[in-house]
Amino acid sequence: MAEKVPSWIERLLLPRLSEISGEIKALNMKVEALEKTVNTRIDALEKTFDERLTSLRNEMVSRFEAVNIRIDALEKRIPIIEELAGIKARLTDLERKISVKQR
């Protein structure tokens, strides 16, 4: 089929086809550069997100540990508070008995 193409068409079309081919190559290069830029930005965002997530996780772990320490301290105080309440109740009973005997 190439043999049937008149030479004048070939002379008109070949420069234009070469120009279009060059434009396509330039577009491909731009797309590849844009793809690299986008990938770089996505990688940076992922890294930032991972760092912030790790930081948040560490902060939450630290806060939970602080809460656990406080809960442990309160749990140690509960038996003392219960004993103190018992002592106060016995003291109240003793005071009542003493006041009854003094009358």
The dihedral over CA atoms of 11, 14, 15, 20, expressed in degrees to the nearest 10, equals: 160
**Which residue has 């948040």 as its token pair?**
56
pLDDT digits (tens, 9 = 90+) for 54-101: 999 999 999 999 999 999 998 888 888 888 999 999 999 898 888 887
pLDDT digits (tens, 9 = 90+) for 4-51: 667 877 788 888 899 999 999 999 999 999 999 999 999 999 999 999
Q: In the chain, where are the structural domains located?
A: 7-102
pLDDT digits (tens, 9 = 90+) for 46-62: 999 999 999 999 999 99
C-alpha 27/C-alpha 35 separation (Å) is: 12
